[in-house]
Structure 1
Amino acid sequence: MCGITGIFAFNLVGKFNKIQISNATQAIQKRGPDYQDVYHDEWVGLGHRRLSIIDTTAVAHQPMWDESKRYCIVFNGEIFNFQSLKQELERKGYPFFSHSDTEVLLNLYIDQKEKCLSKLNGFFSFCVYDRQEKTFFLARDRFGIKPLLYLFDEDKFLFASEMKSILEYGIEKTVDYNSLHIYLQLNYIPAPDSIFQNVKKLMPGHYMKVSRQKMDIQSYYDIPYNREESERNTISYQDAQIRLKQLLEESVQRRLVADVPLGAFLSGGIDSSVVTALASKHKPDLHTFSIGFKDESFFDETEYARLVAKHFKTEHTVFSLTNNDLYAHVNAVLDYIDEPFADSSAIAVYILSKETRKHATVALSGDGADEMFAGYNKHAAFNRIIHKGFKEELVGAFHPLWKVLPQSRNNPLANKARQLLRFSEGMKLSAKDRYWRWAGYAHNDEALSMLHADIKVKSSHQEFAARKNTLLRHLPDNAGINDILLTDMLLVLPNDMLTKVDLMSMANGLEVRVPFLDYEVVNFVFSLPGEYKINSQYRKRILQDAFRDILPAKLYNRPKKGFEVPLLKWFRNEMRSLITDDLLSKEFIHSQGIFEYSEIEKLKQQLFSSNPGDAHARIWGLVVFQWWWKKFM
C-alpha cells in the first residue's frame, strides 16, 4: 500500500513540469510514511511513497526494475495471490530477488502484458514504464478500491494517487462546473470526472496505454451480471449460502497475509462481524477495533461489537469519543481532502484509522456488503415500490401531508416524515430519476439554483444529462433489485464509500482490505436472484442466513444504524461563525463569484430553523467546497 505518481513529458514544455517530480511524490507522503524514492530520465519521472506491508526490506523498495532494466514499476495496493503467481513465473524461468508482490506483478506484466490483469486477485493502481518502447501502462483494480488520477495534454501525461500530487506539477486549475453541479447533488464527484476540467480518474476495471502524445483506454473487467440469468439461477438458496460462506472464507484467508500487525474494524453490524468471525478462525490472536460515541447513544454500537469480540475471543479495543473529540478532527479532515468530497462520516473513519494505526498497519473491513446484498434504506424502499401494494399507495397518496410536516434527521418523528416524503416523491419518478433522487441531497433544480448566473452559462444541461445517463446506464425502466445493486457498485461504492475509506485510512498510513470485494465473491453474488438478497422482512437476507449459525443471535433483528456525525449541532454552535462570517458570508460569496448568495441565504435560514430537513448535509457540501477553494485555488 503506497502512493504513486509520474510524468511522461512529450516536449520541452512538459519537461518543465517534470522537475516537480520530487515535490509531487512528497505531497503524498502520508500514504507511504516508510520510504520515498524517485526515478527520472530525460522524458519520464516516477515517484513512490512506501507503506511497507509485504517484504519490508529495502530490496522491495520502488520504483522497482526488472533484471534487464527495461521495465520499471510503481505500484499501490496488494496482490493477494502473488505466491501462486510467483510459482508459475519461476517455472517459466523468471528470477526473483525479493519476496514482494510488487516484483511478481512486474514480471507477470512482462510475461503477459495487459492479460496479466485477469489473473490478479487484489486491489491496485500501478504504472509500468517500458524504457525501450517509451510507453506507460497503467491499470486500476476491478472495483476502484485504489484511486488513479491523470492529466493528458499536448505537452505531457501525469498520474497520481491523489489530486494534491497532480497539483504539485503546476497544472492549470480550471474548475469543471458540470462536476460542481453534480457535486451539489451527490456531495461527491463520480469518475471519470474530477473538479478540474483537465484532470480525470481512470475508471475501475480499466487500463490505459500511453506513448508520446497518444493515449488509449480499455476496459478489462465488468461485473458479469445478466438480469435474466440471475433471476432464473437454479442454485438453491441453501446451496447458495454454503457457496457464499466458502468464497468469503477463502477471501478473508487471502487477506490475512502481511509482514506487519494486522487487525479488523468491528462495528457490531453483520458485515464486520462476518469478517471478524472468519478472520478469527484463521488468526487466533486477531485484534479488533471499534469506535463508540458517548454523546450519541443512538449511533453507539459498541455493545454489539464487544459481544462479537467476546464471542470470537479477539483482543478488542474501543475508542470512545465525545462530540468534542469528533469536532477536534474536522480541520484535519478538511485539510486532507484535495477534491470536494462531503461524506461527513469520513470524520469518524479518519479517527478510527488514526487510532487503529497505533496498534496495526493493516485492517480488514466490511465495506461493499451493503451495495452487494441490499443493506441500505433505499434498497428496502426500492423493493417496496417493485412489490408495492395498499400501504405503499397510501404513503404516496399522503404526499401533501408529508410535505408540510417538520423534517430533520435529528428527531425520530421528523426523520420519519422526511423518509415518507422521499418515498412518496420517489414513487412518482422513473427508475433512473428515483435512484438519482435517493442517491443525493438536492434536486437538480435546487443544485442549479445555487450557481451564480455567470457560472450556469459554463455548465451545460446537455453535458449534465449525458453524465447522469452514463452513470445510470444499467437501470432499465422496470429495474429490479439487482439492477439497483449493480448501479450502487458502479457509482456509490467507488466514488463515495471506497474513496472515503482510502482517503481517511491513507491520511493515517493504514492499509484497509475489503474481503467482500474479492472478485470471485462479487461474481457469485451477482449471479443470484434479487429475492436471495432482500425481501419484505430482511435486507442482506442471504448474508444473514449464511452466518446465522456462528454469529451471536443478539445481532439479528435490530435496526441498521450506520453513523452520522452531529453536523447540525456543530453548525448551530461551534461552526456557526465559520459558516456565517467566513466560508458562506455574503462578502466571500460575492467576491468568489460561483454561488448565488440569495440561495445560500435561504439554505442557512433553513439550517437554523425548526425544520432543517437535509440542509445540514447540503451546507456540509458547501463548507467542504469552500475550504477546498481557499486552500487550493
Structure 2
Amino acid sequence: MCGITGVYAFNMVGRISMINVNNATMALDRRGPDFQDIYNDNIVALGHRRLSIIDTTASGHQPMTDESGRYVIVFNGEIFNYKSLKQGLMAKGINFSSSSDTEVLLYLYITEGKDCLQKLNGFFAFAIYDKEEQSVFIARDRMGIKPLYYMNDENRVLFASEMKSILTYGIEKNIDYTALYTYLQLNYIPAPKTIFKDVKKLLPGHSLLIKNGKVVTECFYKVPFDKNKYTSLSYGDQKDKLFQLMEQSVQRRLVADVPIGSFLSGGIDSSVIATLAHRHKPDLHTFSIGYKDEKFFDETEYARLVAKKIGSEHTVFSLTNNDLYKHVNDILDYIDEPFADSSAIAVYILSKETRKHSVVALSGDGADELFSGYNKHSAFLKMIKGGIAAQAVGTLTPVWSLLPKSRSNPLTNKFRQLHRFGKGMKLTSKERYWQWAGFASEPDINRLLSPNTLSSINRQNYLNFKHNILQKIPEKEDINDILYTDINLVLPDDMLTKVDRMSMANSLEVRVPFLDHEVVEFAFSLPVSSKINGHIRKRIVQDSFRDILPQELYNRPKKGFEVPLLKWFRREMKSMINDDLLRDDFIEEQGIFNVAETRKLKRKLFSSNPGDVHARIWGLIVFQWWWKRHCT
C-alpha cells in the first residue's frame, strides 16, 4: 500500500509542473511512511511513497524500472495472486530481482499490455511509463478500492492518489457547484466528479492512456449482471460455494511480510472475515471499537463473543464522546475533498489504534452492498411487494412527520425510518433510490444555497450526472437493481473512500475479502431470494457461516458503524458550530449558503425532533472546514 503521483508534460509549460513533484510526493507521506523516491526524465515525472508490506527490502522500492530500463512503474495496492503470475512469467524466461508484487505487475504489463488487468486479483492504482513510446498507462482496480485523481489540459496531465497531492501542483481551484449540489444531498461526491471542475476521479475498472498528446479512458471491467440469468445451483450448493469463495479470498489476503490483524465490529460480516482468517492464521489479532457513553451504538459484547469463540487475541478501544472530539481536528485536516460520512471518525480512531499492533487489517466492507444488508434494502423489498402494511405506513406519513425523529434511541429511530419510507412511496423508483441514498432532497438544497450559488449550477449537467448514476434502475426495480447501483455509487464513493482515507491517514492497509471479484461475480449470479426476504437480510451470508459463528449474533437488530453525533454536537462541538463554522456573519461573508436556512438547521439540531439533521450539519462542518483550509 502506497501513494503515487506523476506529471506527463506535453510541452515546456507542462514541464514547469515537475518542480512540484517532490512536494506532491511528500503530501502522500501518511500513505507511505517507509520510503520516498522520484523518477524524472523531463517528459514524465513519477513520485512514490512506500508502505512496505510485501518484500520490505530495498529491492521493492519504487519507482521501479525493468531490466532493460524502458519501463518505469509506480504502484499503490496489492496483487494477491502475484506468486502464481510470477511462476507463469518465469516459465517464459523472465528473471526477477525482487520478491515484490510490483515487479510481477510490471513484467506482466510488459508481456501482455492492458490485457494484464484481466489477470489481476487485488486492489490497485498504478502508472507505467513506456519511455520508447513516450506513453503512460494508468489503471484503477475493478471495485474502486484504491483511488486515483487526475487532471489534464493542453500542457500536462497530473495524477495522484489524493487530492492534496494534486493541489501541490498549483492548479486553479474552481469549485464545481454541481458537485457541491450533489455532495449536500449525499454527503460525498460521486466519481468521476470532484469538488474542483478540472480534477476528475478515474472510475473503478477503468484505465487511462496518455500517448501522442491525447488522453483516452477505457472501461476494462464491469460487474457482470443479467437479471434474467441466475445460477442453477440449489440454495444449499450456493451456500457451499460462497463459503469456499470467501475462504479462498481471505486466505489470499493473508499474504504479507508484516503483522496482520482483523477489524471485528460484532456484526456478521467482520465476524465471518475474522473467523475464516483465524483458521489460517492462529495468531490473528482482532480489534473493536465501542462507546462508553452510548450503549445504543456499542456492539463490543458481540465482538468479544466472536473473539472468544475463535481464540483470537482481542483488543477493544472503548471511547467517550470526548475521545471523538479530540480527534476531530486531525480528521478534518486530512480530508482534502468534502466527504462527510460521519462513521469515518470511528474508522480513523480504529485505524489509529490498530496501527500500533498491525500494518495490515482485514475488513468486512462490501457485504451489505453485495448481499442486501441495509435497512433501505428491506424498505425497497416492502415497497416492491406492497401489501396492506406498506400502504398503511404510506397513509400515515402525516403522522410520522409530527412524531419526534432521531437516531439516538430505538423508538425515535423507528419513527424516522417510517417517515422516510412513507415519503419514498410517493416517488418513482429512481427518485426513491436517490432520496434514500442521501440526507436531503433537492428542494432542501435549493433552500440551503444562496441565489448566487444556485445560479452557478448547470442544471442540465446535474440532471445528466444523476441520470448516469441511476440509469440501471428500471421503472419496476428489484433488489438486485438496487444492489448493482449501490456497488457503483455507495460502495466506491462512500464506503471504500471512507476506509481508504481514514486507514491511510494512519498508514494502515485495509483489505476487503468480500470484494474479491470472484465473490462479487458470484453474488450477482444469485437471485434476490438468496439475499433477502421478509424475515432476514444477507440471508446467504448468515446461513453459510451459521455453524462457525456464535448464535448470539443472529436475530438481533443490525447496527451500522455509526458515531453518536447528536450529543457530541450539542455539547463538545456546540461552540465550533455556533461560533465558528456556521456562525451567521461567516455564512453571509462566504456567500455560498443562505443564512436563514443554516439558522433553521441549527435550531433543529438543538430541538427535541432533530431527525437526520446531524448528518446535514456534519456535511456542512466538513465543507466549511475544507473551504477555510483550501479556498481562503
TM-score normalized by structure 1?
A: 0.99
1:297 aligns with 2:295: yes
Aligned equivalent of 1:373:
371
CA contact (8 A) 1:357 1:510 kept: yes
> How many angstroms does 1:371 deviate by?
0.5
CA contact (8 A) 1:381 1:423 kept: yes
Aligned equivalent of 2:573:
575
Aligned equivalent of 1:135:
135
CA contact (8 A) 2:6 2:158 kept: yes
Alignment partner of 1:420 out of 418, 421, 437: 418
What is the letter of the counterpart of residue 75 of structure 2?
F
What do you get for the CA RMSD once the two structures are aligned?
0.9
1:326 aligns with 2:286: no
Aligned equivalent of 2:179:
179
Distance across 1 between alignment mates of 2:562 and 2:484: 25
Distance across 2 between alignment mates of 1:59 and 1:558: 50
> Where in structure 2 are the equivalents of 1:177-576 lying within 5 Å?
177-230=177-230, 233-576=231-574
Aligned equivalent of 1:608:
606
Q: Could you tell which deviates more after superposition, 322-331 or 143-152?
A: 322-331
Distance across 1 between alignment mates of 2:563 and 2:550: 28
What is the letter of the counterpart of residue 328 of structure 1?
K
Q: Could you tell which deviates more after superposition, 204-213 or 64-73?
A: 204-213
Distance across 2 between alignment mates of 1:40 and 1:330: 38
What is the letter of the counterpart of residue 12 of structure 1?
M
Aligned equivalent of 2:70:
70
Aligned equivalent of 1:109:
109
Q: Could you tell which deviates more after superposition, 207-216 or 471-480?
A: 207-216
What is the letter of the counterpart of residue 162 of structure 2?
E
> How many angstroms does 1:406 deviate by?
1.9
Aligned equivalent of 2:44:
44
Distance across 2 between alignment mates of 1:298 and 1:585: 31
What is the letter of the counterpart of residue 26 of structure 1?
M
Q: Deviations over 1:194-252 (max 9, x none)?
A: 0000000000000010124311101011111001112xx32110000000000000000
Aligned equivalent of 1:593:
591
> How many angstroms does 1:541 deviate by?
0.2
Structure 1: 5+ residue runs without aligned partners?
none
Secondary structure of 2:228's counterpart equals: helix
Secondary structure of 1:495's counterpart equals: helix
Distance across 2 between alignment mates of 1:489 and 1:435: 13
Q: Deviations over 1:601-625 (max 9, x none)?
A: 1111111211111111101100000
Q: Could you tell which deviates more after superposition, 447-456 or 498-507?
A: 447-456
CA contact (8 A) 2:317 2:353 kept: yes
CA contact (8 A) 2:263 2:362 kept: yes
Distance across 2 between alignment mates of 1:445 and 1:219: 35
> How many angstroms does 1:430 deviate by?
1.1
Secondary structure of 1:434's counterpart equals: helix
Distance across 2 between alignment mates of 1:561 and 1:161: 31
Distance across 2 between alignment mates of 1:447 and 1:133: 48
Structure 2: 5+ residue runs without aligned partners?
none
Secondary structure of 1:429's counterpart equals: coil
Q: Deviations over 1:417-469 (max 9, x none)?
A: 11111001111111110010000000011112211111111102211111111
Distance across 1 between alignment mates of 2:416 and 2:305: 33
Distance across 1 between alignment mates of 2:213 and 2:580: 44
> How many angstroms does 1:392 deviate by?
0.7
> Runs of at least 4 residues of structure 1 off by over 3 A?
none
Distance across 2 between alignment mates of 1:425 and 1:204: 32
Aligned equivalent of 1:157:
157
Secondary structure of 2:77's counterpart equals: strand
What is the letter of the counterpart of residue 566 of structure 2?
L
Distance across 2 between alignment mates of 1:591 and 1:574: 26
Distance across 2 between alignment mates of 1:335 and 1:212: 39
CA contact (8 A) 1:155 1:213 kept: no
Q: Could you tell which deviates more after superposition, 291-300 or 490-499?
A: 291-300
Secondary structure of 2:30's counterpart equals: helix
Q: Deviations over 1:499-524 (max 9, x none)?
A: 00000000000000000000001001
What is the letter of the counterpart of residue 226 of structure 1?
D
What is the letter of the counterpart of residue 181 of structure 1?
Y
Aligned equivalent of 2:98:
98
CA contact (8 A) 1:80 1:122 kept: yes
Q: Deviations over 1:293-317 (max 9, x none)?
A: 1111111111111111111111111
**Identity of aligned pairs, percent?**
65
Q: Deviations over 1:521-566 (max 9, x none)?
A: 1001100101100000100000100111111111111111123222
Aligned equivalent of 1:169:
169
What is the letter of the counterpart of residue 379 of structure 2?
A
What is the letter of the counterpart of residue 170 of structure 2?
G
CA contact (8 A) 1:291 1:302 kept: yes
TM-score normalized by structure 2?
A: 0.99
Distance across 1 between alignment mates of 2:248 and 2:405: 45
Aligned equivalent of 1:126:
126
Distance across 1 between alignment mates of 2:508 and 2:212: 36
What is the letter of the counterpart of residue 135 of structure 1?
S
